[in-house]
Structure 1
């Protein structure tokens, strides 16, 4: 691929509002590109489901609990958090609804997100939406009769249920485990899960799996325009393998340039308002599926990425960095700053370090605050020494890294941009 085309694709990743949504007569390669990106969330969901179902005792329509906080060995889902314990299941509502019982949670933060196979959050049941008293909810698939307590409609027959329960770790883990055990899910017996291609598969295998996934979990009518344009790849076909290969190559390059899709304001990229419920923003949906699968909607949590040395989200320096935060951030939940090593395929995972510290947040023990309550966080590959050590967030020993700040239950001034985070600066 020549340099001019490469730069054009970088520009597409930076500025395109959707998958060529207004192109009058796209080429077949463009249609293949758009088809690849449209199907990517489905492929990533199926890949994640297959990976998670390999865990001992895991099954469809059965809650599985993670009993420890994520660390550098956690590689099942990109950009994990180190604040909450996860419980999860993949739902199959083909044969009928499932019933979810949420126990009384009191003041402990929790959220139950149910994402359809297109990665939209159909519902978030938790501290923000139903409070700490709990309740029973009926998860109803498309076309099913909405009977049972608190019927909650899910857009596709298959979905991902992801529960987060806040814990400080250590002595709090036993209480957090008890809270997890109070969640109960009852659903119909599910059929075996087919095997699907991954995002790196050859185009014919990729599109065959995309068609199978769309048959299992049909797209909404609002996507019909794109599906008609991409019918050779996502519909009945046929398509030219060489043209498909060109389009898939272009799509993969666009995901490589996904960092260009982010706009940094004052040193941070802020999430779009449609994070977690994407509508027809298919390109943004594909990028999040690759870089942050399972992201909550912004009303629940905001994920802010630091600009880095390149101004596009990547740090490469060996020196020391500093983030100075005010005594309080405008939120009703909690916040944390997470450190990730960046992989070549654009994903992010915690990095091994001598402190076993993957985040710093408002609940981190032993931090040293300034006289006015503000907090200086020191970031680097080596211990900064002295009093700074208490506030050290270790970076990888080598290689690029990225940082995300999570703010749970953000207030209006953070949601609407009246409040902005201070930048990370070189110390």
Structure 2
């Protein structure tokens, strides 16, 4: 018989047949879970009678369990859903859902689709499915940086300056997770295996000569092993698009879809078990019930709030420069795990606000790779606001072998900030720009906010409305002074 509970202040009277029990409500951390007890929980009051609870309590506990799991599943799956969204939306916007087709992103509109895209160098992106067989890449020599990544955004291998070819060009073969790489090994060929069927091929051209692009696309070859051919490079679309992961049920639809395309890694089996009661089972159609739909929507919202909190307040690490609010963005190992843990929070922080990871990005060395510094607070420790003006003083002689840049991003979309501008310089300033006005000592003051300082408009990036913002300060080929911290950036200063 289902029992009824009537609450009178702190006392609850239980009616079960003809027997009445008066019990005080106890907090969860004091509960004995024995005999007759009324326990205050996040699922409401749970009434025990002879150590058992009724069906209503069971339903509420399952709802709470599934909501908690959904929120953690959001954090776990963030890299996978983000990459899948990128693949699908880029294919729709650029027509690159055909084998061998690359999207070339150069304009502000094109790059504004990518989560925390850099706005200083051309991007070239392709998604390839290895389930049809291995892919061979004949990679050209030159100043480029990039790599092949799996769908968890883990580098399979780097290309270009930080890859095995070191900028000299090479032949690569990448095989899928269920393919034996041994038959493809040969002298002068680099063979790698991806943990996922779908892979991203991403390249940035670092050569400052615009003519190198034509050389690169003419020499790049990709195709089946022993049968490479010229790829298609889709250029000049200048379209507005979005690779920001969706919210609500659409988030889980993306996840269910990509899980059916990929093998389950051993490390992910516990997460697959938690997905099953929520209606996501590998090999089955995703058709959630009304209850599952409600929990999934709430779980995605709660999970995103938790992930954004990690992004803003990464409690697992410390600021890079003591006394500032600057963090070094990558704080995980290249495989996203160690001998003892999967770096769950660390990777979610990066892949909520960004995409991709290569060896050169995760583990840069003096004179090579890239460093990404970010901040969300001013010199007072207050959150950066769109309705206030700030200045960043960049010291002279930033330790880079190539160049540095400061790029503005929206906290809402995590994509390049949309302030109504149409030029790259409206949301990204870098040391190669002739427009910057420097101080006499070689330092430069960069301004962010709704109002441009008079006479320094070329050093300003505008914020609008209540669209919160953050920045990446990128150091390309950082030098030793960055790593030993003899160089540092100050915090943004509010400007009254």
TM-score grouping bracket, smaller chain normalisation? 0.7 to 0.9
Q: Which has the higher strand share?
A: 2
Shift of 1:317: 4.0
**Match for residue 200 of structure 1?**
247
Aligned mates of 1:250, 1:158 — CA distance in 2:
29
1:282 aligns with 2:320: no
Q: How does 1:177-188 map to 2 (within 5 A)?
A: 177-187=214-224
Alignment of 1:352-363 (within 5 A): 352-353=420-421, 357=425, 358-363=427-432
Assess, with a 3 A threshold, how the Cα gap between structure 1 residues 141 and 231 changes in structure 2: closer, same or farther: same
Is this contact kept in 2: 1:166–1:176, CA < 8 A?
Answer: no
After alignment, is 398-407 or 257-266 more displaced? 257-266
Aligned-partner Cα distance in 1 for 2:253–2:108:
35
Moved more, 139-148 or 281-290: 281-290
CA separation in 2, counterparts of 1:180 and 1:289? 29
Task: Specify the alignment match of 1:51 in structure 2.
Answer: 89
- The 1:126/1:380 distance shift into structure 2, 3 A limit, reads same
CA distance in 2, matches of 1:356, 1:208: 34
Q: 1:306 aligns with which of 366, 369, 375?
A: 375
Residue in 2 aligned with 1:18?
A: none
* Residue 191 of structure 2 is aligned to residue 151 of structure 1: yes
Structure 1 contact 301–406 (Cα < 8 Å) conserved: yes
| TM-score, with structure 1 as normaliser | 0.77
- 1:94 deviates by 0.6
**2:205 corresponds to 1:165:** yes
1:253 aligns with 2:311: no
* Structure 2 counterpart of 1:195: none
Q: Structure 1 residues 37, 133: closer, same or farther in 2, change over 3 A? A: same
**CA separation of 1:212/1:64 partners in 2, compared to 1, >3 Å: closer, same or farther?**
closer
Q: Which runs of 5+ in 1 are unaligned?
A: 6-25, 190-197
Secondary structure at 2:377's aligned position in 1?
A: coil
Q: Equivalences for 1:92-241 in 2 at 5 Å?
A: 92-105=129-142, 108=143, 110-129=144-163, 130-146=165-181, 147=184, 149-166=189-206, 172-187=209-224, 199-202=246-249, 206-207=251-252, 209-233=254-278, 234-235=280-281, 241=292
> Which residue is 2:74 aligned to?
36
Cα distance 1:180–1:422, how it changes in 2: closer, same or farther (>3 A)?
farther
Contact 1:74/1:349, CA 8 A, preserved across alignment: no
| Distance of 2:178 and 2:480 partners within structure 1 | 36
Secondary structure, in 3 states, of the residue corresponding to 1:125? strand
Larger radius of gyration: 2
- 1:277 Cα deviation (Å)? 4.2
- 1:313: Cα distance to partner? 5.6
Q: 2:16 aligns to what?
A: none
Shift of 1:403: 1.8
Deviation at 1:167, TM superposition (A): 5.6
* 1:215, distance to aligned residue in structure 2 (A): 3.4
Kindly state the Cα deviation for residue 256 of structure 1 after the two structures are TM-superposed: 4.2
In the other structure, the counterpart of 2:39 is: none
Residue aligned with 1:407, SS:
strand
Name the counterpart of 2:353. Answer: 291
Cα shift at 1:79: 1.4
Q: Is 1:393 aligned with 2:451?
A: no
Q: 1:244 to 1:64 in 2, by over 3 A?
A: closer
Aligned residue among 331, 346, 355 for 1:273: 331
What's the CA shift for 1:353? 3.5
Could you tell me how far 1:137 is from its partner in structure 2? 0.9
Asked whether the 8 Å contact 1:64–1:89 carries over to 2, the reply is yes
Residues matched between the structures, number: 383
Note if contact 2:399-2:479 (Cα within 8 Å) is conserved in structure 1: yes
Equivalent residue in structure 1 for 2:475, among 398, 407, 425: 407
